[in-house]
Structure 1
Amino acid sequence: MGVLRMGYVHARVTDLEKAKQHYGDTMGLYPVLVEDGTAYFKGWDEWDHHSVVLEEGGVGVAKFGFKVADPADIERFEDRATRFGCAVSRMSAGENREVSDGIRIVLPSEHVVELYHDMTVLGTEVGTHNPEVFPRHLVGIGAPRLDHALITAEDVNLMERFFREVLDFYPSERLATSLDADADCIATWLTVGNTVHDIAILKGPNAKLHHFAFELSSWSDILRAGDLMAMDDVPVDVGPTRHGITRGQTIYFFDPSGNRNEVFSGGYVAYPDRPCVTWTPDQLEKGVFYISREVNDRFTAALT
């Protein structure tokens, strides 16, 4: 089956206590473990031990973890990534808390991706036997799960090739210089399953993070999240609004260290056999923010 989903984001923060308040009290993620200047969180509807790791010291993303279906997938992807020209190394079980052995790949964009096949299971907050539809005592926004991330890269075409040829992702949407088949790719939204995107890549400096996002169920949940951000004085970048690209409903905002987050709902069901949707630069504003059709300078310039 190959890659199942993005399993975790390991981010850097300047102040761990403030970050714990943001991701725990405002986002409503469940704190799992704190040790050695590192905090682990999970959403209420996630099975595995954690999906967000916060490490004190700096800003931005340290690495992403993608879970694969079978241990045999690790060797297959190791061979493909090596032949693609990436630096690949093995990681042992326990190098990452509660995570199995696997491989660590340095992407052409200098981001680090880890592939693993197992993580300690804690279970969801509603369980598997006659479950309720959500936990009664959600905190803050109560984000159910990690959804996706957007990173920047100098060569978007090369990065899209990596995810397609090495990890079997496919693009659901693309921003290109024209509709020609050989047009230069400015941004790409890639998925490995039926979600509209698991990872997106925007032209920009290597090794930078634009945002990582959490799924919410509906537009009303997005609006409620905006109210809670106002109550907690969270700096909002854009929203609540809608994307043309992905059709998702959204708010972008910043954690106390300046890492951009997003809450995201909606979108559509993607299939590998559907045509890729292509956007051109003359319709960029409509694609990014469908309602206002305006993109502020901070939205593209603020990276960590």
Structure 2
Amino acid sequence: MRGNAPLHDVAHLGSVELYTPKPERSLWYFRDLLGMEPVHESGLSVYLRGYGDYATSTLKLTTAQDAGVGVISWRAASPEALERRAAAITAAGLAIGWTNGDYGRGRSFRFRDPDGHVMEVYYEEQKFVAPPELHSNLKNLPQKYTGRGVGVRRVDHLALLANDVEPNRKFATELLGFQLREQVRYDRGTKEIGSWMSPTAIHHQLAYVMDVKGGRGRLHHFSMWVDNRDDVLRAADILTENGIFIEAGPSKHNNSQGFYLYSYEPGGNRVEVYSGSYLVTAPDWEPVTWNEEERGTGTYWGATLPDSFIEYGTPDVKGSASSKVPEHLKDAIASLS
């Protein structure tokens, strides 16, 4: 923060890299079932986009031994903002260093959050220019709606598992300038087990949730946006007909008010198809805090989230939840979105 003024150096979530041990099947899931468009291949990676994404690419699938999250990329608001964040992150001791960028992006400053997730900030970005077969008659739509599969419009958010939520939340709010939207605190407010933040009016583009297995640098889920609830219901049909395991939903969260469906892509990563939620435009927004009684199951209506929702993340950690986590907190974390 600069004095009492909000920090707006990060514009929005730019791109997410997912690791997959089953690259061909993962590509099939995102391309044929979710309807994303492949735009580039390089080495062990394939780059994709939703039809409403303005950047050339917003998802990078990379072949790896284990599933999980690779580099999480945030676009800076300006070249000067990029330099300011690089300096601040370096001063905090979290820097990895500068890179020459990636497909569709210019130089990037790479770093780690306190839990070890790899992130980067960049500014230069290549806008998507549709080839003739993908050109939309709408001048304000970067790519036509192809009608393939679910037809996800854009990348929405991701949720990361963290050994300790509080320092990661402070990192995101104080160093990156994200606004805290909602959080869950238990034990009379002394234990922070989940926080939802965003640099934009979108309810959250980043969430941190307590990792009950004591891991570090793990992914809980990656989320794609569709326009309405009917699209989420249609996604359930499409995924089920194609043998994809649906873990939870369609249901409605109390936190975020989002309408959701969680499935596992073939490589093992949890993917959410998401709609609803609400926007935050008020500059004096006061974060919403939930306690044990108010939180309930984390579902406003619909089936209770299963045990796997607390136990599973990528890369997977074998064994049961850490003995360091009290039983009542394990139950609480199982309700988080």
TM-score bracket relative to the smaller structure: over 0.9
Q: Is the 8 A contact 2:23 2:267 kept in 1?
A: no
1:91-170 to 2 correspondence within 5 Å? 91-93=99-101, 96-123=102-129, 127=136, 130=139, 135=144, 137-170=146-179
Residues 134 and 74 of structure 1, relative CA distance in 2, 3 Å threshold: closer
For 1:32, the equivalent position in structure 2 comes to 39
Q: CA deviation at 1:243?
A: 0.3
- After superposition, what is the alpha-carbon deviation per residue over 1:235-290, rounded to whole angstroms, capped at 9, x for unaligned? 1010100000000000000000110000110111113411111111344444x222
CA distance in 1, matches of 2:179, 2:114: 18
Report how far residue 128 of structure 1 moved: 8.1
For residues 70-117 of structure 1, the C-alpha deviation after alignment (integer angstroms, 9 at most, x for no partner) is 111111111211222313411124xx1221102001110100111010
Distance, in Å, in 2 between the alignment partners of 1:164 and 1:254 is: 30
Measured against aligned partners, the alpha-carbon deviations of 1:5-34 in whole angstroms (never above 9, x if no partner) come to 111110100111111110000010001112
Identity rate, percent:
25
SS state at 2:31 partner: helix
Is the contact made by 1:10 and 1:64 (CA closer than 8 Å) also made in structure 2?
Answer: yes
State how 1:253-264 maps to structure 2 within 5 Å: 253-264=263-274
Matches within 5 A, 1:229-244: 229-244=239-254
Q: What is the match of residue 80 of structure 1?
A: 88
C-alpha distance in 2 between matches for 1:72 and 1:47: 22
Q: 1:202 to 1:97 in 2, by over 3 A?
A: same
AA aligned to 2:186 is T
Rounded to whole Å, the distance in 1 between the matches of 2:199 and 2:139 is 30
- Does the aligned pair in 1 maintain the 2:82–2:122 contact within 8 Å? yes
What amino acid does structure 2 have at the position aligned with 1:53?
K
Name the TM-score, length of structure 1 as normaliser.
0.93
1:5 aligns with 2:12: yes
Measured in 2, the distance between the counterparts of 1:133 and 1:218 equals 20
Alignment: residue pair count: 299
Cα 1:199/1:83, change in 2 over 3 Å: same
Once structures 1 and 2 are overlaid, which stretch shifts more, 30-39 or 290-299?
Answer: 290-299
Contact 1:81 1:166 in 2 (8 A): yes
Alpha-carbon separation, structure 1, partners of 2:254 and 2:26: 31
Bigger shift: residues 193-202 or 96-105: 96-105
Residue 28 of structure 2 corresponds to 21
* Counterpart for residue 210 of structure 1: 220
* Alignment partner, residue 278 of structure 1: 289
* Structure 1 SS opposite 2:60: strand
1:142-182 CA distance string (max 9 Å, x none) = 101000000011121101110111111011100011564xx
Structure-1 residue corresponding to 2:311: 301
- 3-state SS of 2:300 partner: coil
Unaligned runs of 5+ in 1: none
The answer to which of 28-37 and 80-89 deviates more is 80-89
SS in 1 for 2:301: coil
Structure-2 residue corresponding to 1:44: 51
Which blocks of at least 5 consecutive residues in structure 2 are unaligned? 1-7, 315-337
Match of residue 184 from structure 2: 175
Read off the aligned partner of 1:303 and give its amino acid letter.
G
Per the alignment, in what secondary structure is the counterpart of residue 239 of structure 2? helix
Aligned-partner SS, 1:290 = strand
